[in-house]
């Protein structure tokens, strides 16, 4: 296995956080030393230390991930970086995506993984997960994308899911151009992005969710698997079993997201924005990871989507991160996620454990 692929699997935050370099840089001095690398990956360290000085800078880390250095890491696949692709045709910067395509002559079409950033639907940008996209594509196994979507300062729900679905339709509609297998598209999202990927995985062919943006309105927006990191999945129970419109309205991020509407309209938007609303037996397989100490999104939001999917006989894995808050880092989780992606997007055999993982 290439050094890059090994670090992708083992870097503590390679999947569960947006910035794997910073997660490895334990003392936050802007470089990674061998003592900061998991034991199992230390044999690969020299492949990332481009100048041999015993420390890996962010530039060396990303250069190795992109196949731009010599040595063992230089064997990584060369990447084509396509930036600010307008997936709607509106020239709105919030409706653009970045795509990273591995270059390999004669290679078969690859599965696509689309990453969706968090930020409470009112902040964040596609570049926030750019390093992770590069790392994922650099394995050579996947094309990877990261998308912008309209934030709540510009438009309330359902604008965000309309954008995400338009992006999936655009990428599937341009599969031949970008070397994508259109039948193998997975999505990963963090927090607000977790909410959006969860609705992508359950809200199939629903006109209210689909929208008509872009030039591929008749192309399917279905996805083949979902990785949800601590995303809200049931707004109608977000503050408990009998969550009221007034309680939703009192939560600034949520109220901006759902829109300042009458109580019935607010509750209807809350219903539509909840992935649990749309669960059916033909939904995509899910892997949901959520911390027991998350003080922003309750753990029962993960339990709700997991229970709904299991009731519908859809494959669902709930991995409880014991002691973790809203964001976490764990090598074992990363291994499970890679097995999940490889199983559903590459057809590789694998067993995904649902055992809880202690992170503290």
pLDDT in tens, 136-170: 888 888 999 999 999 999 999 999 999 999 999 99
Question: What's the pLDDT score for residue 72?
Answer: 36
Residues 6 or more apart whose Cβ sits within 8 Å of residue 157: 257, 258, 259, 269, 272, 273
Q: pTM here?
A: 0.84
> Is the pLDDT at 49 greater than 90, yes or no?
no
> Is the pLDDT at 360 greater than 80, yes or no?
no
Higher model confidence: residue 199 or residue 261?
199
Local confidence band at 270 (pLDDT 50, 70, 90 cut-offs): very high
Question: What's the pLDDT score for residue 71?
Answer: 35
Q: What is the DSSP string of 96-156?
A: EEEEEEEE-TTPPPEEEEEEE--STTTS--GGGGHHHHHHHHHTSS-EEEEE----TTT--
Q: Among positive and negative, which fits the CA dihedral 211, 202, 229, 112? A: negative
Question: What's the pLDDT score for residue 14?
Answer: 45
Higher model confidence: residue 57 or residue 18?
57
Judge whether 202 and 231 are in contact, CB under 8 Å. Answer: no
Question: What's the pLDDT score for residue 64?
Answer: 57
Distance CA 97, CA 82 (A): 9
Higher model confidence: residue 293 or residue 9?
293
Question: What's the pLDDT score for residue 134?
Answer: 84
Over residues 107-131, the mean pLDDT reads 92
Over residues 339-352, the mean pLDDT reads 96
Over residues 187-215, the mean pLDDT reads 96
Question: What's the pLDDT score for residue 68?
Answer: 44
Question: What's the pLDDT score for residue 165?
Answer: 98
Give the mean pLDDT of the chain.
87
> Is the pLDDT at 328 greater than 70, yes or no?
yes
pLDDT in tens, 247-258: 999 898 999 999
Q: Where in the chain is the domain with CATH 1.10.238.10?
A: 3-74
> Is the pLDDT at 234 greater than 60, yes or no?
yes
| Ranges 7-21, 112-126, 186-200, 335-349: which has the least confidence | 7-21
pLDDT in tens, 70-90: 333 445 568 899 999 999 999
202: three-class secondary structure by DSSP: helix
Q: Where in the chain is the domain with CATH 3.40.50.1820?
A: 80-234+274-358
> Is the pLDDT at 42 greater than 80, yes or no?
no
Question: What's the pLDDT score for residue 108?
Answer: 80
Local confidence band at 69 (pLDDT 50, 70, 90 cut-offs): very low
Question: What's the pLDDT score for residue 23?
Answer: 66
Q: Which CATH number fits domain 3-74: 3.40.710.10, 3.30.70.260, 1.10.238.10, 1.10.1060.10?
A: 1.10.238.10
Over residues 236-241, the mean pLDDT reads 94
As a 3-state breakdown, the chain gives helix, strand, coil percent values, each rounded to 5, of 40, 20, 40
Write down the CATH superfamily of domain 80-234+274-358. Alpha/Beta hydrolase fold, catalytic domain (3.40.50.1820)
CA distances from 80 to 68, 179, 180 (A): 12, 11, 13
Question: What's the pLDDT score for residue 27?
Answer: 86
Question: What's the pLDDT score for residue 78?
Answer: 81
Question: What's the pLDDT score for residue 331?
Answer: 76
Higher model confidence: residue 246 or residue 2?
246
Local confidence band at 47 (pLDDT 50, 70, 90 cut-offs): low
pLDDT in tens, 10-34: 343 444 444 567 667 778 888 889 8
């Amino acid at each position: 296995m290439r050094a890059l692929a090994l670090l992708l699997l083992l870097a503590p935050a390679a999947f569960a956080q947006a910035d794997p370099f910073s997660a490895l840089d334990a003392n936050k001095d802007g470089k990674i030393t061998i003592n900061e690398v998991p034991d199992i990956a230390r044999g690969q360290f020299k492949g990332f230390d481009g100048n041999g000085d015993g420390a890996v800078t962010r530039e060396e880390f990303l250069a190795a991930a992109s196949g731009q250095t010599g040595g063992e890491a230089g064997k990584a696949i060369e990447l084509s970086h396509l930036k600010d692709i307008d997936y709607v045709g509106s020239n709105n910067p919030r409706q653009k995506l970045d795509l990273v395509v591995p270059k390999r002559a004669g290679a078969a079409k690859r599965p696509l993984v689309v990453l969706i950033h968090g930020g409470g639907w009112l902040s964040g940008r596609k570049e926030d997960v750019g390093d992770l996209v590069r790392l994922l594509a650099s394995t050579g196994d996947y094309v990877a994308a990261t998308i912008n979507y309209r934030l709540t300062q510009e438009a309330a729900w359902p604008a965000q899911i309309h954008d995400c679905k338009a992006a999936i339709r655009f990428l599937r509609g341009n599969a031949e151009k970008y070397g994508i297998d259109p039948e193998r598209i997975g999505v990963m999202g963090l927090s607000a992005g977790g909410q959006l990927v969860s609705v992508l995985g359950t809200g199939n062919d629903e006109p209210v969710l689909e929208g008509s943006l872009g030039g591929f309105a008749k192309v399917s927006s279905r996805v083949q698997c979902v990785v949800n990191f601590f995303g809200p999945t049931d707004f109608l129970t977000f503050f408990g079993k009998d969550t009221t419109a007034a309680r939703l309205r009192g939560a600034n991020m949520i109220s901006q997201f759902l829109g300042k509407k009458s109580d019935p309209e607010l509750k209807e938007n809350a219903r539509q924005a909840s992935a649990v609303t749309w669960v059916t037996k033909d939904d995509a397989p899910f892997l949901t990871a959520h911390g027991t100490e998350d003080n922003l999104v309750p753990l029962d939001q993960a339990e709700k989507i997991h229970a709904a999917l299991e009731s519908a006989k859809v494959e669902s894995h709930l991995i409880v991160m014991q002691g973790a808050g809203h964001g976490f880092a764990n090598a074992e989780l990363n291994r499970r996620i890679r097995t999940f992606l490889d199983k559903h997007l590459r057809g590789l055999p694998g067993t995904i454990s649902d055992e809880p993982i202690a992170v503290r």
